[in-house]
Each structure stands twice: as structure tokens, then as C-alpha cells.
Structure 1
Amino acid sequence: MDTSLIDSIDWKNLVHAYGPAIDAPKELANLIGDDEDDRDDAVNGFLYSSAYHQGTVYSCTPSVIRCVIYIIETEDISSLETIGAPLVRELLCFINICARTWRFVPEIGEAAFVGCNLYKDYLDHADSKTSAYAKELTDFCKVYENS
């Protein structure tokens, strides 16, 4: 994995639900690692419990969204699963739930909007939930662009 984007972010000056986001590079790498338990922890413990926690986003969240988009764009994650679901489903779900906060946190909208062309690639995904998240994100991009 090319970590240049991840490495370019000053994670120690960004926070998540549990403090400085210094664990972000390791957790983002774990998303595409060989160990499914580490992948599950990265999704549940980091994305859904640290970068986004109980409806709250943090200063690290826009950067995490950009990194997740980058991972989807550049890594072959088509065979990776987590929590019994395609990894791409969980990654799109994460972006989608974060994107809902864009009117209150403009940086979230900017970060999620970066993936507009990418989301279209998943509209016909074999997994119906993946394609549904892709549709919601495509719809978000239309609303965001016209706001």
C-alpha cells in the first residue's frame, strides 16, 4: 500500500473520540491487512468507534474519509471481508454516515465529495447494501454540489 497520503497527515494534531489520532496510520493499514480480526477491529474499533463515535465526528474524520476513499481507489479490496460483509460495504457505510453531518461540519462534506466518481463504480455492486450506500453517496454528491 502506498502510504504517502496517510503519512502526509499530521495525525498527532488531530483527535478522535479517545484523544490524539496517532493510531490512525496503523488502523488504516489494518483495513487492508491479511488478518481479518485486525480488519474487523479497524472497522469497528477505529472507523465506527473513534473517527466517528455515536453520531459525533472529530478533527481527524475528514482525513480518515480521504484515506478511506484513497484505499478504495488504489487497493484491490474486492476479496476482502469484514464482519461477514464485503469490506467495501463497510467503508462506503462509514463515509455515508459521516457525510450526513456535512451541513454542520463543512470539512466532512468536502472530504466525502472527493469520492463522487468512485461511488458511481459501486452502484451496480453484487451486494445490495454496498450498492445502496453507493447510491446514497451519489445522491449526497448531487445535493452537496448544488448547495
Structure 2
Amino acid sequence: MANFLLQRTVPLPLPEAWRRLTEWPRHADVVPLTHVRVTTPEPTHVGTRFVARSGVGPLAFDDPMEVTVWQPPGDDDTPGLCRLEKRGRAIRGWAEIEVLPGPGGRARVVWREELQVRFVPGVLDRAVGRVGRYVFGRAVNRLLRMA
């Protein structure tokens, strides 16, 4: 399994950083060739499921996910934590999104992920981790910049 960690500090209140990262359809706006479909009623809660479909034509695959921890931050700088379980045939693993108080009233975002990509041997886990860190790092940066 490939693991990676992203950390960002942004000039946003915790609830706004959280909103920008956990509005699932917005992820399609920042990840190329991806569409996100939420399959359960809103608002997001433990048990919310969504599918990110990535690729083109016959080379596309589904990445179904389920929210297993949902603790939004409070207006009083209480940290927030979301855990997603990836349950697809092509990609398995989990992701955690955490927003914490940072210096000067800023939000500190910590994104942890563990990926297992089907048909990719474990010897390539470091490469998968580097690619994941790059792709998700760009997505997180863009999500946090989008109002």
C-alpha cells in the first residue's frame, strides 16, 4: 500500500477550509477527467457514499467511497476530521482530512491517504505515493483557493 501525507496552512477559518475540502462534487473541478456523483442524500454524514469516476471511455474506472468518520470543526476552532474508505475494484484504501487551528487564526489542513491500486505490484508503492502526493496536493491547493 502506498501512503502519503499533505499539510497546508491557509488564511481561512476552519469551517471554510472544511467546506471547501468536503463538498465532494467540487473535487471534479480540480481533478482532470473526473466526475463525482454523491449517491446518498445530503447533508454529508457517516454513511454518505459517493463515486469518483476518472478516465475516458473504456479506460475509466469508479472510485467508490464512504464517509466513516464525520466530525466537522466548530466555530470555536474545534478541529474537524473526516475519514473516507475507498472500496473500489481498482482502488482501495482510505483518506483522512483534518482541519486544525493554525498560527494567526489560519487553518492547518492535514490530508493522509493510503492507496492500493489493483494490478500495481507493491514494489511500486513509493512511485504510487509520489504520484498520489502530486495529484492530491494540486487538488487540495486548488480546492482551498476556490471560494
Structure-2-length-normalised TM-score? 0.24
Q: Which has the higher helix share?
A: 1
Which protein has greater RCO, CA pairs closer than 8 Å, 6+ apart?
Answer: 2
- Larger radius of gyration, structure 1 or 2? 2
Q: Which has the higher strand share?
A: 2
